[in-house]
Structures are given as structure tokens and as C-alpha cells.
Chain A
Amino acid sequence: MGLLQIGASILAALLVGALTRGAARRHLLLALSVLAVYWFQPVVPLRSFDFWLPSLSLALVVFVWFITSQADAWRSRQNLYGFLIIISLVTFIDLSRYVFSDPLFTATIPPSFNIFLVFIVALAITILFVTRISRTYKWILSIAIILLIIILLILKSPILSIQASIFLRTLTNRPIENISTSDLRWLGFSYIAFRLIHVLRDKSRTPQFTLSRSVRDKQMGRLPELTLPEFATYVVFFPSLSAGPIDQAERFAQDLRKGFALTQDETLLAGQRIAIGLFKKFVVADALALIALNDALATQVRTTGWMWIILYAYTFQIYFDFSGYTDIAIGIARLVGIKLPENFAAPYTKSNLTQFWNSWHMTLTQWFRAYFFNPFNRWMRAYKNIPAWMMILIGQLATMLLIGLWHGITLNFILWGAWHGLGLFLQNRWSDFVRARFPNLQQNTRLQFALQFGGVLLTFHFVALGWVFFALSEPSLSWQVLLALSGVSR
């Protein structure tokens, strides 16, 4: 999101928060989010894909809602309204090509209406067909999860995305000489996919979800039945579309359903949060970005001392950039009565790696903990012959490798994941050792302080060194930088 988009989002949120209530607020939030899906999508080299990719995002949202909602839910007035809002806005965006000389919400001119109509009809048939099957066969939900993971794999893997791009370019009669990984730059898909997987997975675990919700589920308040406007707004909510945080559907729906009136105090708190976010992102992070570690600097920096400074610059740049965006998203959402979850809690001040991961990109970590780490550990516990330490090693390593792969399927992201997986394992072993060996440590405040302070320094530098893999594109470059940092090669 650029400054213009952030400014427009703030203004829109202020108006919605101040002037609307109840259903009008929910419908307007849906409309703004639908428009934002198109407006925020950057231009891609494939013709009209800046229209098709957002349209596919919305198609997936509608599709997942149909297969996870009650059989006759679509007949309700709220859902019909929601459906009408989505379809009319998307149609309006497409038809705008015939009225305005410049595209209104897309980077380039949308496709012709005939092609759009074919897309809508094909989508409607698919949804009707799959929804009908999904009423009988619950595995359809698992298929949908697999489909989302496959799309993620294609987008995150340079090799697969190039192959997909070749296929699409051939299909659309575009030259393949200019092929690039940016052909399929699908804004926010990672976050959209994670929200959809969260709903699909939780619904698949809800007994008899298609018939009636169990009393226990209702008592637990687990995954209440979401209307289409609520569901679609949750998945493509405009403040958190491009950089998260990843909210929980049930929590998000509670905020949407709550009565909300924008007060002066709320506006000030939101404004403060947005201002902090803007400063973090556009002043601190963008300034640090000028001198932060990258592929070119990896080979150009001449001394060990400067290499550390360049690495520190990257370490702080990535934090201020990401947490700045999160602050902006949380602040804008607050203006419309949505309290998005926190994503960062001073991660570089934590004294061990577990605490770091509990305070860095928290919603992603929680997602992986809920949907991979915990089930995987439960599964491993069934095998009695696996020693505890081995279970910890495998669990930590596998989770962190997956988090690494979520950022991109490259060797460097794998190395970054492995670095943290091994780090978490070693820290776990060390903590157990210290607890067993020095049971009275808590009583020695000085030693406790020294350990705490040392822990912060050690954790910060461990994380910073991990960024050497994250920031660079090739393991050989990372190796060069690590040698330079250790004083061996410079």
C-alpha cells in the first residue's frame, strides 16, 4: 500500500466509522474491501490480470462461503445483499471500461464484458455444482484446502510460477520472452489463503456443520455461522489485505456485529496508532532501506564492522517496515470498530527465541501453531518410541521450515527456517538444562538480570544473523556475508 492508498483508506474508514451504524456499516465495509482488492492490486505484465487476480480472490471467497455455510443460507436477505454488493461492484469495475477512458479501480483497462460474463457463468456453475457435492461429501473442504495450498505453492515457488506464467502466456497469446516471476503478483493472496484455510479447516472439524450446529459449538462460540458480507469482509478486509494481521473469523465477526459509534477517544487512539505506523514505515524503515543488506551490498561492503552495520540496518528496517504497516492496519480498522489482533510486541527485546516468536508476526505464528505445530505434535505423540527431545526437534524444525517456505520456496528461506527451528530446539534444551541444574536461579536477582540481559543480546544477534538468509537470494551470498561478519573474509 502506498501513501495514496493509505490516505484514502483512512478517509474512507473515518467516514464509515463516523456516519454509519449496524447493517449499513457492514455493507459499506464490504463494498470498500471489494473495491480495495482491485485498487491495491499492482499492475502485472499479463493482460487484464490486475482484474482477474482480484476477481479470483473474490471468487474464492464466495466459493468457500458457499461450501462452508448452511444449505439454505444464501436465501437470507443479508446474504443476498452481500452477494449483490460483490457482484454489482465487480460488474461496475468491468463495465467502467466502456464509460471512462482511464481505469477507475484497476491498474489497466478491465477485460471486455463478454469475457467477464463467461467468467461469472462458469463460476456460478462451479459453485452450484461443488456446493451440492459438499453437502454430501465433507472431503470437499479438504480438497478446497489442498487447492489453496497448491496455488500458494505455485505463487511462492519461482520455478512453478514461471511454468504457470508460461502456460498463461501461451493461453493468452502473449510472448514468453518477457516472462517474469512478477507475472503472477497476486496481492494479499497469502493472507487470503490463510484466512480461508482457517475457516475451511475449522468447519471441517465442526460435526454436522451442514445440517445444524451442535449445542456444544454454540456454547463454545466456535465459528459462528457467518453471513456472506461478514465472511467476505473478514477475508478481504481492506486495512489488513496486503500485510495482515491474520485475524480469527469468529473474533472478527463479533466486532462486526457489535454496535459501534466512533468516539473522539477512539479516533485519537486510532490516529495515534496510524501516525506511529506511518512514521515507522515511511520515515524509519524507508530510510534504513537505503543502507540495508541486499544482494549487491553482500559483495560490495569492504569491512567486517560495516557489514554488521548493514545487517543491523536490515534487522531494524524489516521490523519497522512490517510493524509500521501493522500499526496502520490496526489504526484504520479501529476507526470502523474492528480491533485487529496485535502482530508485534517489542520482539527484539526478548530474552529467548521462543519469546521472540511469540512477539514477531504473532498472528502467523499462532496460525502455524494452531494448524500445524499442535496437530503434528499430537500425531507424533502416538508413536511412543520417539524420544521427547526428538519430538521437539522435529516439531520445531518442521514448523519453522514451513514458515520459511510460506515466505517463498527458495533455498534461502529453507535455511532461514532451519536456522530458527534449530535455534528454538537448542534454546528449549538449554532452558531445561538450566532449570534442572540451577533450581534456585530465581532467587539470585543479579544473576537473573545478567542472564536476562545476555539473553536479549544473544537472541537479537541470533535473529539478526538469521536475516542474512532471509534478505539474500542465494546461499553462496549468505555464506560470504557470514564470513565477512566473522571477520574471516574482509
Chain B
Amino acid sequence: MENKPRIRLFAVLLKAILLIALFNFAFIYLKGIPLGKISLYNSVFPGRERLPFGEHPQAYNLSMFNLDAMFASHILTGTPKTLAEYRVFLIGDSSIWGTLLTPSQTLAGQLNSSAISACGRSVRAYNLGYPYISLMQELMILDEALQYQPDMVIWLTTLESLPKDKQFGSPLVANNAERVRELIAKYELKADPNDPALINASKWDQTFVSRRREFADLLRLQMYGALWASTGIDQFYPESYERAQIDLEASDEFHELTSLKNALAIDVLDAGMRAAAAPVPTILVNEPILISNGLNSDIRYNFFYPRWAYDEYRVLLNEYASERGLPYLDLWDLVPLNEFTNSGVHLTPVGEALLTDKIAEVIQFNCNNK
């Protein structure tokens, strides 16, 4: 009779536990491997028109902190630059990303469909906006994007991005402490590299078990690629939404400040403006805001800004650009009140069209005068 080898359950369990532990802790040493760059986008699925962001299941999209994976899913990564392309990067917040707008309705989408040319080449704009307002976040994205050979960078910003206390508030920034420290060192920023808002991963946090959510998100992002390819949808569009506030509080409070002097992260702004080395121009744009005509609109422009702070900011930004001779465009009052959607900076497609016309002019003007 054949002797069947006896399986010892305890030994099996012990080996399994040891293997799991080994696999789990091996991830601490795999930290440097950019797993996020492994992507089905731009090969099996078309690249996304904007960076992945979303909290709703029907967005077919998700928010994550892995910048490698975010860029790997973006169409920019999979589009080799040709001689005929004039490559423009649009950096900014949710208004550039396009909350409530389809990809074709965003600033990048409308610029591309208007088929303009600059310096004898076809302008191709890339949407590198990302929801949440923080200059540091925008600098991080810009710094990562520069490897993809832009011909021009257009940085649309607003006052709410500038206060120093906002810089590490973005979850994308807080969860990329290493990258932030690199930025601080590279651009000699004044920010504290050991700011408690930055999330530092302990050894345990770097194990597979602790990072399981990150890996699940990476897989989910790939699965959502099928839905992006099949539907072209990358955010949830509610049937109705609450319009941006017009009647405002009788408060002139802004980040508990009485003056903006020394309160803004001008060093981060400066780093961004210097990041793309010559001959690539970086154009600074003060993005349009909602100017309310409702209750207490004599005190505040909108939910975000008291009049004193925003007026002072415009003066400061203008001075900053003219002192350094930087190309700057102040479009704060470009868009009428009814062309804002659910926030004082989110535009309707018509609002985006107004902005597109101005930005198209800026691209052509700055290219030709380079």
C-alpha cells in the first residue's frame, strides 16, 4: 500500500505564518520601488484627461496619494511629444481640474477643442489641476510634471492657496512627506520639513498589511480604467447641486489674519515660477472668483474672501510679478456671477469658455514674444 505523506497541520500553519510575516515585512525594503508606475493606462486603457480624484462610487474614479500612479494614469504620460505639438501644462486647483465639468468642458478640454496654434505648432493643453487648494500641492504636481517636456506652464491660482497654514493641509501633500522634504530642499523653501501635519510612515506603516489600502486603491484605479475607457466618465455628476453662496456672513475674517504680509507662502509660489527653467515660460494667473451681490457683499466677495484680504492679495501678487518681471494675468472679475457652480471658484462651461479665450490669447502672446 502506498504511504501517503502525513500533513502536519501545526507545521503548515507555522510555515504559513512565517511566510506571511516575511512577505509583509519585505515591503519595508520595497518602499523605493515605484509600484505606482505599473499601470494599464495608456496601454490597455486610454490615459485619463485629468488626475484621478473621486469619492463617489459612480465617479468611476478615486482619490489616492500615490503620485506615480496618478501620473501613470494620466494621458500626459502616454503621449510622446511630437515636433508639431506645443505642450501646455495647466496647474491649479479644483476649478482647473473641473469639478462638475466633463473633461471636454474644462479649460484644458476647451483649449484643445479650439485647436489653436502657437509658434507654428498645435497647442495641446494638459489638465494638471487637482482638487484642494494648496500651493505646495500644485508645486509638487508641477515638479513631477516637468519631466514631460512642457513648452509653457500656466499656473492658475487664488488667494486661498497661499496662506502658510494651508500648505500642508492637502491630503496629497500630508501623505507624501518624503516628496515634500525633497521639494523643501530642492527649492530652499522656508517650510518646516518636520511639520507635524506631514504624515511620517513608521516601519510598521511600510509593511504590506499597513499599506493594503494603498495597494487596493492601485488595483481599483486599474479596474476603473475599464469604466473610463467605456464611458468617458471620471467624476460623479449629481442631478442637482447647491449653488455657490451669494448671501454671505457679516464677517471679514480670513484665516485669523489682519494683514497678508508675511502670511502667504510666497516662497512656494516663487519656487513654482522658477521650477520650469528657461526657455519654458511660466505664466501666473489669478483665477476668476465669484463676486457676490447678495447680503453682506460689501464686506465679502464670496464665501472664501473678505474684500480687504482679497484686495490686498491682488496688490501683493501684482507687485510680486512686476518686481520679478514675471508674466502675470489678473482675471479675478472675468466671469459673471451666474457662471459659477457650487463654489466661488468653480465655473460653468460658459465660464470656462470665457477663461479659455483669455488663456488662448496668453499662450499665443507669450509664445510669440518669447
Q: Which residues of A have CB within 8 Å of B220?
A: 287, 290
Q: Could you tell me the distance between the alpha carbons of A347 and B58 in the complex, rounded to whole angstroms?
A: 31
A427 within 8 A of B: no
Q: Which residues of A have CB within 8 Å of B224?
A: 290-291
B280 within 8 A of A: no
Q: Which residue on chain B has the smallest CB distance to residue A307?
A: B230
Q: Which residues of A have CB within 8 Å of B231?
A: 297, 300-302
A385 within 8 A of B: no
Q: Which residues of B have CB within 8 Å of A177?
A: none
A309 within 8 A of B: yes
Q: Which residue on chain A has the smallest CB distance to residue B225?
A: A291
Q: How many residue-residue contacts, CB under 8 A, span A and B? A: 41
Min CB distance A132 to B, Å, is 52
Q: Could you tell me the distance between the alpha carbons of A428 and B277 in the complex, rounded to whole angstroms?
A: 75
A268 within 8 A of B: yes
> Do B9 and A291 have beta carbons less than 8 Å apart?
no
B233 within 8 A of A: yes
| Given known contacts A296-B58, A301-B231, A302-B232, A265 and B7 CB-to-CB distance under 8 angstroms | yes
> Do B219 and A287 have beta carbons less than 8 Å apart?
yes
Q: Which residues of B have CB within 8 Å of A113?
A: none
Q: Which residue on chain B has the smallest CB distance to residue A313?
A: B226
Within 8 A of B (CB), among A290-308: 290-291, 296-297, 300-303, 306-307
Q: Could you tell me the distance between the alpha carbons of A267 and B58 in the complex, rounded to whole angstroms?
A: 41
Query: How many residues does chain B have at the interface if contact means C-beta atoms less than 8 Å apart?
Result: 16
A310 within 8 A of B: yes
B14 within 8 A of A: no
Contact of A268 among B9, B223, B232 (CB under 8 A): B9
| Given known contacts A264-B8, A309-B226, A300 and B219 CB-to-CB distance under 8 angstroms | no
> Do A291 and B8 have beta carbons less than 8 Å apart?
no
| Given known contacts A264-B9, A267-B9, A302 and B230 CB-to-CB distance under 8 angstroms | yes
Q: Which residues of A have CB within 8 Å of B9?
A: 264, 267-268
Min CB distance B15 to A, Å, is 13
> Do B219 and A310 have beta carbons less than 8 Å apart?
no
> Do B223 and A300 have beta carbons less than 8 Å apart?
no
> Do B219 and A297 have beta carbons less than 8 Å apart?
no
| Given known contacts A265-B7, A268-B7, A301 and B230 CB-to-CB distance under 8 angstroms | yes
Min CB distance A268 to B, Å, is 6
Q: Which residues of B have CB within 8 Å of A303?
A: 230
Within 8 A of A (CB), among B1-31: 7-9, 12
Q: Which residue on chain A has the smallest CB distance to residue B9?
A: A264
Q: Could you tell me the distance between the alpha carbons of A268 and B15 in the complex, rounded to whole angstroms?
A: 14
Q: Which residue on chain A has the smallest CB distance to residue B223?
A: A290
> Main SS of chain B's interface residues?
helix
Contact of B226 among A267, A291, A300 (CB under 8 A): A291
| Given known contacts A265-B7, A268-B7, A310 and B230 CB-to-CB distance under 8 angstroms | yes
> Do B227 and A291 have beta carbons less than 8 Å apart?
yes
> Do B12 and A268 have beta carbons less than 8 Å apart?
yes
Q: Which residue on chain A has the smallest CB distance to residue B224?
A: A290
B229 within 8 A of A: yes
Q: Which residues of B have CB within 8 Å of A310?
A: 226, 230
Contact of B229 among A267, A290, A306, A313 (CB under 8 A): A306
> Do A306 and B223 have beta carbons less than 8 Å apart?
no
| Max chain A Cβ within 10 angstroms of own Cβ: one of B8, B58, B224, B226 | B226
Within 8 A of B (CB), among A94-130: none
Q: Which residue on chain A has the smallest CB distance to residue B62?
A: A290
Q: Per-residue CB proximity of B221-263 to A under 8 Å, as 1/0?
A: 0011011011111000000000000000000000000000000
> Do B58 and A306 have beta carbons less than 8 Å apart?
no
| Given known contacts A287-B219, A287-B223, A309 and B230 CB-to-CB distance under 8 angstroms | yes
Min CB distance A334 to B, Å, is 14
Q: Could you tell me the distance between the alpha carbons of A435 and B9 in the complex, rounded to whole angstroms?
A: 52
Q: Could you tell me the distance between the alpha carbons of A287 and B230 in the complex, rounded to whole angstroms?
A: 17
Q: Which residues of A have CB within 8 Å of B227?
A: 290-291, 297
Q: Which residues of B have CB within 8 Å of A306?
A: 226, 229-230
Min CB distance A326 to B, Å, is 24
> Do B7 and A264 have beta carbons less than 8 Å apart?
yes
Q: Which residue on chain B has the smallest CB distance to residue A306?
A: B230
Q: Which residues of B have CB within 8 Å of A264?
A: 7-9
Min CB distance A133 to B, Å, is 52
Q: Could you tell me the distance between the alpha carbons of A276 and B245 in the complex, rounded to whole angstroms?
A: 53
Min CB distance B314 to A, Å, is 42
Q: Could you tell me the distance between the alpha carbons of A297 and B7 in the complex, rounded to whole angstroms?
A: 49
Q: Could you tell me the distance between the alpha carbons of A290 and B7 in the complex, rounded to whole angstroms?
A: 39
Q: Could you tell me the distance between the alpha carbons of A264 and B7 in the complex, rounded to whole angstroms?
A: 8
Min CB distance A269 to B, Å, is 10
Min CB distance A68 to B, Å, is 41
Q: Could you tell me the distance between the alpha carbons of A290 and B58 in the complex, rounded to whole angstroms?
A: 10
Min CB distance B20 to A, Å, is 12
Q: Which residues of B have CB within 8 Å of A302?
A: 230-232
Q: Per-residue CB proximity of A202-239 to B under 8 Å, as 1/0?
A: 00000000000000000000000000000000000000
Q: Per-residue CB proximity of A9-29 to B under 8 Å, as 1/0?
A: 000000000000000000000
Q: Could you tell me the distance between the alpha carbons of A290 and B223 in the complex, rounded to whole angstroms?
A: 7
Within 8 A of A (CB), among B173-225: 219-220, 223-224
Q: Could you tell me the distance between the alpha carbons of A307 and B230 in the complex, rounded to whole angstroms?
A: 8
Min CB distance B63 to A, Å, is 15
Q: Which residue on chain B has the smallest CB distance to residue A288?
A: B223
Min CB distance B89 to A, Å, is 28
Q: Could you tell me the distance between the alpha carbons of A290 and B220 in the complex, rounded to whole angstroms?
A: 8
Q: Which residues of B have CB within 8 Å of A307?
A: 230
Q: Could you tell me the distance between the alpha carbons of A307 and B223 in the complex, rounded to whole angstroms?
A: 15
Q: Could you tell me the distance between the alpha carbons of A297 and B219 in the complex, rounded to whole angstroms?
A: 20
Q: Could you tell me the distance between the alpha carbons of A302 and B233 in the complex, rounded to whole angstroms?
A: 11
Min CB distance A261 to B, Å, is 14
Q: Which residue on chain A has the smallest CB distance to residue B11?
A: A264
Q: Which residue on chain B has the smallest CB distance to residue A287?
A: B223
Within 8 A of A (CB), among B148-185: none
Q: Per-residue CB proximity of B33-67 to A under 8 Å, as 1/0?
A: 00000000000000000000000001000000000
A290-B220, A290-B223, A300-B231 given; 4 more Cβ-contact pairs under 8 Å: A264-B7, A303-B230, A309-B226, A309-B230
24 chain-A/chain-B pairs, Cβ below 8 angstroms:
A264-B8, A268-B9, A268-B12, A287-B220, A287-B223, A290-B220, A290-B223, A290-B224, A291-B223, A291-B224, A291-B226, A291-B227, A297-B227, A297-B230, A300-B231, A301-B230, A302-B232, A306-B226, A306-B229, A306-B230, A307-B230, A309-B226, A310-B226, A310-B230
B positions within 8 Å CB-CB of A: 7-9, 12, 58, 219-220, 223-224, 226-227, 229-233
Q: Which 3 A-B pairs have the closest CB atoms?
A: A306-B230, A264-B9, A300-B231
